Amino acid sequence: MTGKQKKQLTKIIISGILLILLAFTHFTGYLKFIVYIIPYLIVGFPVLRSAVINISHGQVFDENFLMCIATIGALCVGEYPEAVFVMLFYQVGDLFETIAVGKSRNSITELMDICPEYVNIEKDGEISEIDPDEACIDDIMVIKPGEKVPLDGIIIEGSSSLNTTALTGESLPLDVNIGDSITSGCININGLLKAKVTKEYSDSTVSKILELVENSADNKAHTENFITKFARYYTPAVVFSAVALAFIPPLVTGGNFTDWIMRALNFLVVSCPCALVISVPLSFFSGIGCASKNGILIKGSNYLEAIAKADTVVFDKTGTLTKGSFSISEIHPNGISKNELIETTALAEGFSDHPISLSIKKAYGKPIDNSRVTDIENMSGYGIKATVDGKTVYAGNEKLMKKYGIEHPSVSTGTVIHTAADGKYLGYIVIADEVKEDSAEAISKLKSNGIKNTVILSGDKKPVADDIAAKLGIDNVYAELLPDQKVEKLEEIIKSSNGNVVFVGDGINDAPSISRADVGIAMGGLGSDAAIEAADIVLMDDKPSKIPLALKIARKTHTIVNQNIYFALAIKFLVLILSALGKSNMWEAVFADVGVSVVAIINAMRALKIKE
Amino acid sequence: MKKSYKLQDLDCANCAAKMETAINKINGVNKATVSFMTQKLTIDADDSLFDEILKETVATIKKVEPDCTVLIK
């Protein structure tokens, strides 16, 4: 609790005790007014003060002002205990709101406590502590046990275990060795690490994530916008009805003014839409917070709302459902040695960072001599054309071979890279990719969560894609697609489905599909920056099983939001009607205002604790 | 130009919504958001008018909630 809140609490307690004591006294007339005005002023002075300031600024429908009118009105008609109680309860609610909101805000920002304060840079054998902003690419950073990894980098010395919980929600530590890339925001647990900086601070994972979370408030859900709009009309409408209620019925029927004014004052007490205005954004905020605790970053509550209404999930295959860590399973050279085939292919693929190229380079085992390779042309969806040692080399899939009229055997197993030099066929390499451990679980959970259609869109060959779809239980497969065909196919799927369509991918070639889908999800660990940029939701640990979890969090948050809206509106309108009929008193009205807010806030905070 | 500022003592969610509406009406503002949850103000506005707009924004915020201050670095 802050100082301001403690002061408020003290005032509430003092005035509450006074009010209870006064209930046992029997003052009358002016004396009664004087004894009740003391607790009223103790607890209500800040409200009166704000009301005066705000009204001088022309804020007629300010909640403080309306609360003052209501309580002063009650004092005028002699309902002293009511006036004090309403003010007291109003302040209790206000205090509770600030504490609850502050608490959930903290629990979310705590999760985001991944920002590095400094970085140890080693230069000429000396270590100096500098601001992460000042570190440059290729600087050598030293990370001691217990410290955060300040910038993205590659380990050049030492090995250790990293705690990635803040980024991925994963509790098992990650073992890292020389040559592994490390992500900023992880915590080094036991070993001393030296790493080369690969990204400047502004491009590092930590600042990307922080930016993403900070900006998530800019993308508001429809419901949130609706509530803001509703609030704009609700207060004036209730206030005008109150004025009408105070004067019209007694003038028409000649009834008692005091009675009708009391009814009108009740209206003013329930005129604040606070329960809705606070609890709806708070629910979404808590939902997003709960998701980020699980390594799911959502860029705005509108996406949380959109994924809750999804009925189709479309996957890219490589790197999304499969590990994307290919390894060579077969080598079939044609007239040359196995090593020669690998060497030529590796050289041609030298500049590509496609997972397939990486696996071939890994099998080659030696650094690529770039001076031997010129005129590289990357043909997306086909392969690579390059000049290696003066020969024109084609390395890629069957389509590439067909395109250049090179005779080749037809191979149907796995991913195949054919290589040809100067029109002569050199042979092929078979590469296999492993399915991620949790892919099957992810698909079955999606289905049990009401996803009607699961689809694979792959640039890979049909037998490979079919095989994986059968293993995982995916409904539809479209293979051998070029990136632009992927988008076309996705458009078709979007047109034919009733609910929202989710696309999950990781590569640069998926970025157009990710931005086209109703909800685009990117794999944040393996994923390219373009995919992460285009995505609405980023999975930090690349696990497809996080998708059903995201869906669950979104749906639950949506339910909580609806509960709050219906509950708050139902109670408020009930009290309005009862007040108009003279069947409700100010005690009930203040419950409809503050009590409902408190209940709605507690309900909203449940979104923070959604579990698998 | 898009900039964001921290807000101190923004205590009421309805006020945040009111501020947002009012700031969006200022001439030259493309989009403004006031987030009660993150206690942050984001303004996207024309470069040439930015200083003017910021001044007007601060005044608007004071008008809606006198206790609330914009922290300008």
The dihedral over CA atoms of A464, A468, A469, A470, expressed in degrees to the nearest 10, equals 100
Residues in chain B: 73
Q: Are A93 and A593 in contact (CB under 8 A)?
A: yes
Q: Which residue of A has its CA nearest to B33?
A: A218
pLDDT value at residue A495: 93
Each domain of chain A, given as residue ranges in start order, spans 3-109+219-283+556-609, 136-199, 301-323+435-535, 327-432
Residue A85, Cβ density class (10 Å: 0-12 exposed, 13-18 middle, ≥19 buried)? buried
Most B CBs within 10 Å, among A111, A212, A226, A278, to test the B interface: A278
Q: Which residues, at least 6 apart from A136, have a Cβ–Cβ distance to it below 8 Å?
A: A197, A200
pLDDT score of A611 more than 80: no
* pLDDT tens per residue across span A59-99: 777 788 888 888 998 888 888 888 898 899 888 888 888 88
Q: Are A532 and A511 in contact (CB under 8 A)?
A: no
- Can you list the alpha helix ranges (DSSP code H) found in A23-118? 29-56, 63-76, 80-111
* pLDDT tens per residue across span A550-584: 999 999 999 999 999 999 999 999 999 998 888 88
Both tokens of A448, joined, read 């049990």
Q: Are A475 and A443 in contact (CB under 8 A)?
A: no
Each domain of chain B, given as residue ranges in start order, spans 2-71
pLDDT value at residue A405: 86
**Overall pTM surpassing 0.90 (yes/no):** no
Residue whose structure tokens are 């709302």: A305
DSSP secondary structure code for residue A322 in this structure: B
Most B CBs within 10 Å, among A107, A111, A277, to test the B interface: A277
Q: Which residues, at least 6 apart from A236, have a Cβ–Cβ distance to it below 8 Å?
A: A61
Q: Are A257 and A264 in contact (CB under 8 A)?
A: no
Binning pLDDT at 50, 70 and 90, where does residue A443 land?
very high
C-alpha–C-alpha distance, residues A18 and A20, integer Å:
5
Through-space distance between the first and last CA atoms of chain B, rounded to whole angstroms = 16
* pLDDT tens per residue across span A498-527: 999 999 988 777 888 888 999 999 987 656
| CATH class held by domain A327-432 | alpha beta
CA angle at residue A216 from A211 to A222, to 5 degrees? Answer: 165
Closest CA to A100 of A281, A240, A249, A224: A281
pLDDT score of B7 more than 60: yes
| Coil/strand/helix, residue A475 | coil
Question: Residue A140: what are its φ and ψ, rounded to 5°?
Answer: -100, 120
* pLDDT tens per residue across span A382-427: 888 888 888 889 988 888 888 888 888 887 666 788 999 888 898 9
Q: Are A308 and A284 in contact (CB under 8 A)?
A: no
Residue whose structure tokens are 């099983």: A545
C-alpha–C-alpha distance, residues B30 and B23, integer Å:
10
What is chain A's mean pLDDT, rounded? 85
pLDDT value at residue A111: 60
DSSP string, B14-52: HHHHHHHHHHHTSTTEEEEEEETTTTEEEEEE-TTTHHH
Residues in chain A: 612
Q: Are A481 and A292 in contact (CB under 8 A)?
A: no
Round the CA-based radius of gyration of chain A to a whole number and report it. 33
How much is the average pLDDT of B39-53?
87
State the pairing for strand pair A519-523/A500-505: parallel
CATH node for B2-71: 3.30.70.100
| Coil/strand/helix, residue A120 | strand
- B37 neighbourhood in chain A, CB within 8 Å: 101, 105, 217, 281-282, 285
Rounded to 10 deg, the angle between the A29-56 and A63-76 helix axes is 160
> Cβ of B12 and A101 within 8 Å?
no
C-alpha–C-alpha distance, residues A297 and A611, integer Å:
16
C-alpha–C-alpha distance, residues B59 and A451, integer Å:
49
Both tokens of A89, joined, read 């309860």
Catalytic residue among A94, A139, A152, A316: A316
In angstroms, the separation between the Cα of residue B10 and the nearest Cα of chain A is 10
C-alpha–C-alpha distance, residues A520 and A540, integer Å:
14
C-alpha–C-alpha distance, residues A561 and A283, integer Å:
6
C-alpha–C-alpha distance, residues A391 and A374, integer Å:
10
Of A58-62, A139-143, A345-349, the one with minimum mean pLDDT is A58-62
CA angle at residue A378 from A372 to A381, to 5 degrees? Answer: 140
CATH node for A301-323+435-535: 3.40.50.1000
Round the CA-based radius of gyration of chain B to a whole number and report it. 11
Question: Residue A501: what are its φ and ψ, rounded to 5°?
Answer: -110, 130
Known catalytic residue at A316: yes
Nearest Cβ partner for B36 among A215, A273, A281? A281
Both tokens of A216, joined, read 């998530």
Binning pLDDT at 50, 70 and 90, where does residue A299 land?
confident
pLDDT value at residue A354: 74
DSSP secondary structure code for residue A148 in this structure: B
CATH node for A136-199: 2.70.150.10
Residues of B with CB under 8 A from a CB of A: 4, 11-14, 17, 20-21, 31, 33, 35-40, 42, 63-64, 66-67
CA angle at residue A88 from A35 to A599, to 5 degrees? Answer: 160
Helix (H) or strand (E) holding A277: helix A274-293
Binning pLDDT at 50, 70 and 90, where does residue A609 land?
confident
Nearest Cβ partner for A274 among B14, B38, B42? B14
Of A207-221, A329-343, B32-46, the one with minimum mean pLDDT is A207-221
Nearest Cβ partner for B37 among A58, A59, A105? A105
Q: Count the Cβ atoms, other than its own, within 10 Å of residue A382.
A: 21
Residue type at position A453: N
How much is the average pLDDT of B16-42?
86
